[in-house]
Amino acid sequence: MNVEQARFNMIEQQIRPWDVLDAHVLELLAVVQREDFVPSAHRDLAFADLEVPLSNDPALIAAGQVMLPPRVEARMLQDLEVAKHEKVLEIGAGSGFMAALLGHRAQRVLTLEIDTDMAHTAYTNLQRAGSMNVEVRAADGASANLSSDGPFDVIVLSGSVAQLPEHLMNLLKPGGRLMAIVGEEPVMRATLVRQGNGGRVITEPWDTGAPRLLNFPEPRRFRF
Do 90 and 109 touch, CB atoms closer than 8 A? Answer: yes
Do 90 and 141 touch, CB atoms closer than 8 A? Answer: no
What's the maximum distance between 2 C-alpha atoms anywhere in the chain?
55
Closest CA to 71 of 8, 5, 13, 27: 13
Do 133 and 109 touch, CB atoms closer than 8 A? Answer: yes
* Cα gap 75→206, rounded to integer Å: 9
Do 5 and 61 touch, CB atoms closer than 8 A? Answer: no
Q: What is the secondary structure of 138-154 as a DSSP string? A: E--TTT---TTT--EEE
Structure confidence at residue 219 (pLDDT)? 82
* Cα gap 73→52, rounded to integer Å: 13
Structure confidence at residue 59 (pLDDT)? 75
> Domains of the chain (ranges plus CATH)?
3-208 (3.40.50.150)
97-105 vs 23-31: helix crossing angle, rounded to 10: 130
Q: What is the pLDDT along the chain (224 residues), one digit of tens a residue?
A: 799 999 999 999 999 999 999 999 999 999 999 999 999 999 999 999 999 999 877 777 777 789 999 999 999 999 999 999 999 999 999 999 999 999 999 999 999 999 999 999 999 999 999 999 999 999 999 999 999 999 999 999 999 999 999 999 999 999 999 999 999 988 899 999 999 988 999 999 999 999 999 999 998 765 55
In this structure, the strands spanning 152-161 and 172-184 are parallel
* Cα gap 182→207, rounded to integer Å: 10
Structure confidence at residue 222 (pLDDT)? 57
Structure confidence at residue 169 (pLDDT)? 98
Q: What is the pTM of this model?
A: 0.94
Structure confidence at residue 221 (pLDDT)? 66
Here the contacts of 218-224 (C-beta below 8 Å, separation 24 or greater) are 218/162, 219/162, 219/163, 219/184
